[in-house]
């Protein structure tokens, strides 16, 4: 099986690559990996198959065609400008998050017209496709009401994915990722970064800044769950999914205060004391429109699973990133 990952150098992309190397998809091994990002992705350790890694901007016309010429069986499209950056740089956000996605979909469509090529396409959408006012637990049939350019670009991509799938150009499925928490590594430009920072940094004895009030409620899943969603999406029988191809994933609905209580249980008061409150107007305004939680009934029925609470999310982080114990 030949698997293409666009956005392979990102945090989720790297974890997905590692998981595919060990597990493959649906019991079939990954024989060939094509890894693409705006910086050249690392080749995975311990992989006996072929790896082809490329530095590429898929928003450059003609680039997607080159990838599709190799006819991958499964395509994971993870590449995106994150929410904060897409809000600050209008042109870049639309170019990467909308045009890039459309170039990819059209390259597949043209290949489909040539020889009937019809890959599985797993697209990472986002809970940012909905925006306030929102119910506490958002139903699967809630309308698309993004309040950011990033959410708009993801919502548009969901619509394209559904139409191109309906037309038979590819077998597409969209995964609305909860905010991935705890993100390992350094902070990125995502406006949602603080949800991870306030746990990750104190867990290793570092300070973190909290830019919003304690009662902000949001929707989370671990990086391990995110990778699980993507692989399950690549394996699932799409006849069971039907024409509504983008699914809100399960997750944990928690306030920042509840996150901090879980941190206290895991690492004590000294960890909690490392969180510094520093209100940020721009982030507060963005977060006010974000989703507090989802019913995620369809995804749950279809076998997607996530953590049940923040204690579990912290435990996963300690296992996967900190060698199983706090220092």
Three-state SS for 191? coil
Choice between 143 and 325, CB closer to a copy of itself: 143
Cα gap 56→74, rounded to integer Å: 18
Q: How far is the CB of 140 from a copy of itself (least distance, A)?
A: 8
Q: ∠ CA 218-14-33 to the nearest 5 degrees?
A: 135
Q: How far is the CB of 312 from a copy of itself (least distance, A)?
A: 30
Choice between 99 and 312, CB closer to a copy of itself: 99
Residues 6+ apart with CB under 8 A from 254: 217, 218, 220, 262, 309, 310
150 is catalytic: yes
Closest CA to 62 of 97, 103, 101: 103
Q: How far is the CB of 202 from a copy of itself (least distance, A)?
A: 35
Q: How far is the CB of 247 from a copy of itself (least distance, A)?
A: 12
Q: How far is the CB of 243 from a copy of itself (least distance, A)?
A: 6
Cα gap 35→311, rounded to integer Å: 33
Task: From the candidates 94, 103, 150, 164, give the one annotated as an active-site residue.
Answer: 150
Choice between 17 and 149, CB closer to a copy of itself: 149
Question: Is the dihedral angle over the CA atoms 124, 130, 131, 134 positive or is it negative?
Answer: negative
Choice between 1 and 302, CB closer to a copy of itself: 302
**DSSP assignment of 252-310:** EEEEHHHHHHHHHHHHHHHHHTTEEE---HHHHHHHHTS-S-B--HHHHHTT----SSH
Closest CA to 53 of 77, 102, 17: 17
Q: How many CA atoms lie within 13 A of 132 on its CB side?
A: 9
Q: Which residues form the interface with a copy of itself (CB under 8 A)?
A: 90, 109, 131, 141-147, 149, 152, 155-156, 159-160, 162-163, 166-167, 243-244
Choice between 62 and 133, CB closer to a copy of itself: 133
| Active-site annotation, residues | 150
């Amino acid at each position: 099986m030949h698997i293409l990952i666009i956005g392979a150098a990102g945090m989720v992309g790297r974890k997905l690559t590692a998981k595919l190397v060990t597990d493959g998809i649906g019991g079939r091994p990954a024989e060939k990996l094509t890894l693409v990002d705006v910086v050249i992705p690392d080749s995975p350790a311990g992989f006996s198959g072929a790896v082809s890694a490329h530095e590429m901007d898929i928003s450059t016309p003609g680039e997607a065609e080159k990838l599709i010429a190799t006819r991958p069986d499964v395509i994971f499209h993870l590449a995106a400008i994150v929410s904060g950056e897409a809000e600050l740089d209008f042109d870049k956000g639309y170019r990467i998050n909308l045009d890039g996605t459309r170039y990819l979909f059209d390259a597949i469509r043209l290949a489909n017209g040539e020889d009937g090529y019809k890959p599985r396409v797993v697209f990472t959408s986002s809970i940012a496709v909905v925006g306030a006012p929102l119910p506490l637990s958002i139903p699967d049939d809630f309308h698309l009401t993004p309040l950011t350019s990033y959410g708009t670009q993801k919502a548009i991509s969901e619509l394209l994915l559904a139409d191109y799938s309906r037309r038979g150009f590819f077998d597409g499925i969209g995964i609305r990722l909860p905010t991935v928490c705890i993100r390992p590594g350094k902070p990125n430009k995502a406006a949602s970064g603080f949800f991870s920072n306030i746990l990750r940094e104190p867990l290793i004895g570092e300070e973190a800044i909290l830019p919003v009030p304690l009662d902000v409620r949001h929707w989370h899943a671990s990086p391990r769950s995110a990778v699980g969603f993507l692989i399950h999406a690549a394996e699932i029988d799409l006849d069971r999914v039907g024409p509504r191809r983008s699914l809100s994933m399960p997750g944990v609905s928690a306030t920042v205060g509840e996150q901090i209580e879980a941190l206290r249980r895991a690492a004590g008061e000294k960890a909690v004391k490392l969180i510094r409150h520093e209100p940020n107007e721009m982030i507060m305004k963005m977060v006010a429109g974000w989703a507090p939680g989802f019913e995620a009934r369809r995804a749950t029925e279809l076998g997607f699973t996530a953590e049940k609470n923040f204690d579990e999310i912290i435990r996963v982080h300690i296992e996967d990133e900190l060698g199983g114990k706090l220092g």
